[in-house]
Structure 1
Amino acid sequence: MHSRKIASFIDRTPNLARLGKLAAALRELQKTWNDSLPDELKGLSEAVGGEGGTLVVATRSSAVAAKLRQMETRLLINLAKNGLEVSAIKVRMQVELLPHQAKNPKRNLELGESALNAFSSASEQLPDSPLKQALHTLLAKRRQS
């Protein structure tokens, strides 16, 4: 589909138009935030919104959070130079991955009946050992579920 067709569709759909404007505003906020950071901190945090006159920033590193809190006055001056007037920066720890980062889906670790039988026959040939006990435990758990 051509990009102009998509844009016209989004503009005609009120909810999508509102979301499109919000996404554009967040991209602009993130760009302004990155432009205000020193080079060594770029990419380690993300501007996620605002509450009143406070910019809300998320990071996964407590060290980065501490550094951002130490630099708050300098960052506020840089933000003002870049056209964003805020009175405070609130740094939040992001326990999970940031929203734009993909999560790896869990792999299916089920074993088929032929694999279970192969492990069973292999464990029977082993002398008593931690490996033999581990195979018995694995087989018992897999056959339960």
Structure 2
Amino acid sequence: MQNSLENYLEAADGAGKVMAHARLLIKLTHLYQEIAPTHLGQASRLANYKSGIIVIHAVSGAVAAKLRQMAPTLAEGFSKRGVECNGVQVKVQARKISTQSRASTQKPLSSRTSRTLEGLRDSLPDSPLRAALETLLTHSAKQE
């Protein structure tokens, strides 16, 4: 079974072209990490290679701008390492931000704080501040 899958992935009429392209991208990724300055290499990644154009995804506009300025140097670096490189295209591809929201945790008021706020509330005339303190004291958890 393993041999038949391996043969399919290697065969030209199977997924061979995809595997060859994947291997090329891995090789180019290693070269990119050597060529690019460390801080820019960490904030970007080689995304594709097509028709002699290397496509790089940057995590922010600032990183993309710097990489665009360096495009001729990067292309020259790839060419010196034996890669046919006619140019470098840089795109902004921000990292995916987690959509999970954090559950808010309610921190209880100490008994001293509760007494102090109650005293302040009682000393105030009817006003929005007094109403806000009343709401705070009503909804807050009490620490025992």
TM-score (norm 2): 0.57
1:4-57 CA distances to partner (integer Å, 9 max, x unpaired)? x74662323565544433322211121122122123322221111134232111
Q: Please provide the CA RMSD for this pair.
A: 3.4
1:129 aligns with 2:125: no
Distance 1:133 1:49, change over 3 A: same
TM-score (norm 1): 0.57
Return the alpha-carbon distance in structure 2 between the equivalents of residues 62 and 74 of structure 1: 19
Structure 1 residue runs without a partner (length 5+): 98-102, 110-126, 136-145
Return the alpha-carbon distance in structure 1 between the equivalents of residues 33 and 95 of structure 2: 21
Return the alpha-carbon distance in structure 1 between the equivalents of residues 14 and 138 of structure 2: 60
Task: Give runs of aligned pairs for residues 104-123 of structure 1, distance below 5 A.
Answer: 106=100
1:59–1:93 contact (8 Å) kept in structure 2:
yes
Larger Rg: 2
Q: Corresponding residue for 1:40? A: 39
Structure 2 residue runs without a partner (length 5+): 104-132
Q: In the alignment, which of 8, 30, 34 is matched to residue 12 of structure 1? A: 8
| One-letter identity of the residue aligned with 2:25 | L
Task: Give runs of aligned pairs for residues 1-145 of structure 1, distance below 5 A.
Answer: 6=2, 9-13=5-9, 15-97=14-96, 106=100, 128-130=134-136, 132=138
Return the alpha-carbon distance in structure 1 between the equivalents of residues 44 and 66 of structure 2: 11
| One-letter identity of the residue aligned with 2:135 | S
1:59, CA displacement in angstroms? 0.9
* Aligned residues with identical type, % of pairs: 24
| One-letter identity of the residue aligned with 2:21 | L
2:48–2:54 contact (8 Å) kept in structure 1:
yes
How many correspondences in the alignment? 109
| One-letter identity of the residue aligned with 1:29 | L
